[in-house]
Structure 1
Amino acid sequence: MHLLSPRTPGWLDWYRDPSVPSFRLPAGTVDTHCHVFGPQAEFPFAPERKYTPCDGGKKQLFALRDHLGVSRNVVVQATCHGADNRAMVDAVRAAGDRARGVATVRPDVAEAELRELHDAGVRGVRFNFVRRLVDTSPEDDLRAIAGKIAPLGWHIVLYFESVDLPELEGFFSSLPTPLVVDHMGRPDVTRPVDGPEFSRFLRFVDTNDVWVKVTCPERLSVTGPAALDGQRHAYTDVVPFGRRVVGEFGDRVLWGTDWPHPNLTDHMPDDGLLVDHIPHIAPDEEQRRRLLVDNPMRLYWPDEA
């Protein structure tokens, strides 16, 4: 019997009673960034993990999907599971054609394993460059992985912090697949949206085959979840950044919840409120249709787009 590990001290569990959003998601909406944690008794966490989360499995994810009015999910491998993709694949398989997956693999991954992942619904791998979450991100190893997945038509999801982009940009631009950037490259929202740091990120997107997730305002915000004038308008300091990306790259933007919201320390977001953030970064109906339906379908379900 697997001995269960206690969760990391101070770990915040996901929001148990999310509100009903005021904004009604269009039919066919895809949550392109969510995870599953275990459950640990069935899918043990990786020994080398940096944190031990609460359980947040496929049953809870699908319940949130239906509560919010989401049609499909893209389940991204959580770092607590390392390169053991079983929990993610189990969730994707259980959803039928309503889910796709993004895996974590090692450089020595065999072609047969990649084909098995592809048949299960995986369409990308994630490269993590956030130093507090991974010990190292060796470029030669990652380049080897990129070469193996390119023939499958997969993409690479990049997780990094904006201050590190100057160091990483050359490597990113050399990769042979489309790129998807998590959380707008984690900009510092206390700096001007038209300042040099975010402008560099926008140039990187403009000059490469890059898609951008306008996700996780709760991670980027300094002002936090407080509503504005009693309205469902939170994380207001992140809005100019999201609106800028949606305005400039409307055919390459994606949205997601990030449920069950790993490694948050100050508050756990209400997922209904995250849905209500969408009209503030995508003010018109056509923008929202591309962000929520057309773009993710083209990337993850191209045969149906």
Structure 2
Amino acid sequence: MDWERNRTQSKTVLPEGSIDSHCHVFGPGEVFPFAPTRKYTPCDASKADLFRLHQDLGIARRVVVQATCHGTDNAALIDVLASAPASTRGVVSVSSDITEEELSGMHEQGVRGVRFNFVKRLVDHSPYDELSLIAEKIKAFGWHIVIYFEAADLPELEGFLAGLPVPLVIDHMGRPDVSASAADAEFSRFISFVDRTSAWVKVSCPERLSQSGPFAVAGNTRIYEDVVPFARRVIAEFPDHVLWGTDWPHPNLKTHMPDDAVLLNYLTEITESDAQLRRLLVDNPNALYWA
């Protein structure tokens, strides 16, 4: 599905200095080709489109995350960093043969992390030895690892992940089963893992996790109600280690494409005060990416 270009006017006012901690750029394909081994082909979503989105929503800075469709060719992401170096950070995908010189160059351009993808429908395999080599190489730069996995796979991954020598950032709350309770054993295991590893957690992507859809009842102003309890629990448990991002342009969605202006209403559902919202959108990502 293509991303929504005809956004409405947002009713949610973000704190000054808000940061989108998880967004992407795709192509344009004629300039930055997609990887031949990709599992999906996204619609073009350029840096100009991304900058316009953030201007419209009141977002001051951004963290661009490499997605699997571009493989380890980070050229489109690096191009965003070069265009707005003061207001952009990057999370790349690399192979284990990356050199210290290449990593140093990326660091100077604003890269602060590497993404490991364990979602089985998006990657063919996850070689632990190679990922461990990457983790050792990035440690000297103070980088972190962004990890993407599904809740059912955490038991087989947590030993390896807990042993990595750099900080962890978890995408989309570990993709919990939101048809269950936020207090059930599976999500409680996730909470324990976060506590044990001092990981950061993105309370993002309700549109990707929800089973009820944006609105459970027609005319309702509350958004993604089945995801909200999970985000609230994470924020309550780890107030200084939570992040949020748009996930724009919402790649590979199959059911619906959100209006990003409306999607901001989710933030008022999962936070209980202006101070909590500011910590989520300003203080925490600033500490991780700009300190």
TM-score relative to the length of structure 2: 0.98
Aligned residues with identical type, % of pairs = 59
State how far apart, in whole Å, the 1-side matches of 2:217 and 2:259 are. Answer: 15
Cα distance in 2 for partners of 1:233, 1:22 equals 13
Q: How far apart in 2 are the matches of 1:297 and 1:218?
A: 25
Matched, 1:161 2:150: yes
Would you say the 8 A contact 2:92–2:115 is kept in 1? Answer: yes
Instruction: Give 2:47's match in structure 1, choosing from 39, 42, 58.
Output: 58
Report the secondary structure of 1:124's partner residue. strand
CA distance in 2: counterparts of 1:52 and 1:301, whole angstroms: 32
- Comparing 167-176 with 225-234, greater Cα deviation is found at 225-234
Say if 1:23 and 1:227 are closer, same or farther in 2 by CA, change over 3 A.
Answer: farther
- In the alignment, does 2:212 pair up with 1:223? yes
Which of the residues 49, 53, 70 maps onto 1:81? 70
The one of 193, 204, 210 aligned to 1:204 = 193
2:272 pairs with 1:283? yes
- Structure 2 matches for 1:141-220, cutoff 5 A? 141-220=130-209
Give the whole-Å Cα distance in 1 for the aligned partners of 2:220 and 2:50.
Answer: 27
Q: What is the CA distance between 1:211 and its match in structure 2?
A: 0.1
Which segment is superposed worse, 161-170 or 13-22?
Answer: 13-22
Partner residue of 1:255 out of 225, 241, 244: 244
* Separation (CA, whole Å) in 1 of partners of 2:108 and 2:275: 33
- Say which of 208, 231, 236 aligns to 2:225: 236
Q: How far apart, in 1, do the equivalents of 2:216 and 2:59 lie? A: 23
User: 1:31 matched to which residue of 2?
Assistant: 20
Amino acid at match of 1:240: P
Structure 1 residue 117 and structure 2 residue 106: aligned? yes
Q: Secondary structure at the match of 2:91?
A: strand
Distance 1:164 1:220 in 2: 16
Deviation at 1:232, TM superposition (A): 3.0
In 2, distance between residues paired with 1:249 and 1:228? 31
Which of 91, 96, 108 is the aligned partner of 1:107? 96
Q: Which amino acid is the alignment partner of residue 279 of structure 1?
A: T
Shift of 1:227: 6.2
The alignment status of 1:46 with 2:38, answered yes or no, reads no
Deviation at 1:283, TM superposition (A): 1.5
1:228 touches 1:234 (CA, 8 Å); kept in 2? Answer: no
Q: Which residue of 1 aligns with 2:9?
A: 20
Measured on the aligned residues, the alpha-carbon RMSD in Å equals 1.0
Of the candidates 274, 279, 285, which is equivalent to residue 263 of structure 2?
A: 274
Separation in 1, partners of 2:286, 2:7: 26
CA contact (8 A) 1:79 1:133 kept: yes
d(CA) in 2 for partners of 1:227, 1:133: 29
Kept after mapping to 1: 8 A contact 2:64/2:89 = yes
| Count of residues in Structure 1 that have an aligned counterpart in Structure 2 | 291
Match of 1:206, as an amino acid? D
Please give the per-residue CA displacement for 1:212-236, whole angstroms capped at 9, x wherever unaligned.
Answer: 0000000110110126563432111
State the 4+ residue runs in structure 1 displaced beyond 6 angstroms. Answer: none
**Aligned partner of residue 245 in structure 1, secondary structure:** helix
Question: 2:253 aligned to 246, 260, 264, which one?
Answer: 264
Cα distance in 2, alignment partners of residues 266 and 230 from structure 1: 19
Moved more, 141-150 or 88-97: 88-97
Which consecutive unaligned segments of at least 5 residues does structure 2 have? none
- TM-score w.r.t. the length of structure 1 is 0.94
> Secondary structure, in 3 states, of the residue corresponding to 2:169?
strand
Partner of 1:298: 287
Gaps of 5+ in 1: 1-11
Secondary structure at the counterpart of residue 89 of structure 2: strand
Given that residues 89 and 111 in structure 2 are in contact (C-alpha distance below 8 angstroms), is that contact kept between their aligned partners in structure 1? yes
> For each residue in 1:26-52, what CA deviation from the matched residue of structure 2 results, as whole angstroms up to 9, or x when unmatched?
001000000000011111111111111
Instruction: Name whichever of 90-99 and 195-204 sits farther off.
Output: 90-99
How far is the alpha carbon of 1:238 from its aligned partner? 0.4
How many Å separate the matches in 1 of 2:9 and 2:17? 18
Describe the superposition over 1:52-98 as per-residue Cα deviations: whole angstroms up to 9, x where unpaired: 11100100000000000001010000211100000001012211211
